[in-house]
Amino acid sequence: MKGMILAGGKGTRLYPLTNVVNKHLLPVGTFPMIFHPIYKLRQAGITDILIITGKEDLGYFSRLLGSGNEFQVRFTYRVQDRPGGIAEAVSLGKEFVGDSPFVVHLGDNLFQAELAPFIHQFAKGREKAHLLLAEVADPQHFGVAEFEGQRLIAIEEKPVNPKSPFAVTGIYMYRPDVFDIIEKIHPSSKGELEITDVNNLFISAGEATYHILPGWWEDAGTLQSYHRVNQRLQSVNLFSSSSTRPFNE
């Protein structure tokens, strides 16, 4: 398995904090936000990680993270030249992924659970997409899962009347088939390639599965959620007590 962290975007919902700083470089607890998805992927045994960001921020990420040696992983960097949507960002990883299954992790999605059980199950299975969902109090702000019984039948983006309380988190698992699917979708009214369209094509073909993420989950893209996640992670230490090396175990 390989990993892909999406760390682009303007972060407009976090203004003025992001007027001059990419949101994934903001502190969460006592570490930059980007450290947390790196930790989750490495904790699950993924050490080959692609980081995708905008051209104006690439230098900051490479200066902070380097080659990955300090984190016991290997980083590759790619630039998304314009805001073209999550699906377009994923398509930039085609050469990096090759024939491997992979995990897409939106860098501002922070959560309590470990990814390893879900990743290992996906790696052993045959489905082409796997989505992690979270129960939320305000599903109208997210992509929302629709079910028939226990079967996932669709994702509806920011519905006025949500059909369930389960939001699609920014953690997706795919096989390389996803790149063919991305080529089939068309830009939305925002001019972007939407990952919801990709996921709905997998769902309609019966090729997607899901799990509900245990514990808390936050999309740290608003001032309110950013404040909450800072409170949750204030005392979390990603460093070994005997080393200043991140995630040393």
pLDDT confidence of residue 243 = 45
Domain assignment present for 122: yes
Tens of pLDDT, residue by residue over 37-59, are 999 999 999 999 999 999 999 99
Give me the amino acid identity at 86: I
Tens of pLDDT, residue by residue over 153-208, are 999 999 999 999 999 999 999 999 999 999 999 999 999 999 999 999 999 999 99
Domain assignment present for 225: yes
- pTM for the model: 0.94
Q: Is the peptide bond before 101 cis (omega within 30 degrees of 0)?
A: no
Q: How far is CA 226 from CA 13, 21, 51, 98, 164, in A?
A: 10, 15, 21, 35, 24
Average pLDDT over the chain, rounded to whole? 93
Query: What CATH number has the domain bearing residue 72?
Result: 3.90.550.10
Domain assignment present for 247: no
Which of 91, 89, 101, 95 lies closest to 44 in space, CA to CA? 101
The Cα–Cα gap between 108 and 5 comes to: 10
Domain assignment present for 130: yes
HSE of 68 in the Cβ direction (CA atoms, 13 Å)? 17
Domain assignment present for 248: no
Structural domain containing residue 113? 2-233
Confidence of residue 137 (pLDDT cuts 50, 70, 90): very high
Distance of CA 103 to the CA centre of its chain: 8
Domain assignment present for 241: no
- Supply 66's token pair: 């380097």
Domain assignment present for 249: no
Domain assignment present for 238: no
Cβ atoms of 117 and 123 within 8 Å: the answer is no
Tens of pLDDT, residue by residue over 83-127, are 899 999 999 999 999 999 999 999 999 999 999 999 999 999 999
Decide which of 239 and 210 is more confident. 210
The Cα–Cα gap between 218 and 135 comes to: 11
Question: 151: Cβ–Cβ under 8 A, 6 or more apart, which residues?
Answer: none
The Cα–Cα gap between 229 and 218 comes to: 7
Distance of CA 81 to the CA centre of its chain: 19
**Residue 54 three-state SS:** coil
Which of 107, 56, 106, 104 lies closest to 82 in space, CA to CA? 56
Q: Are strands 151-157 and 143-148 parallel, antiparallel or unpaired?
A: antiparallel
Cβ atoms of 120 and 101 within 8 Å: the answer is no
| pLDDT beyond 70 at 247 | no
Domain count, the chain: 1
HSE of 42 in the Cβ direction (CA atoms, 13 Å)? 19
Tens of pLDDT, residue by residue over 235-246, are 787 765 444 456
The Cα–Cα gap between 207 and 221 comes to: 30
Cβ atoms of 4 and 90 within 8 Å: the answer is yes
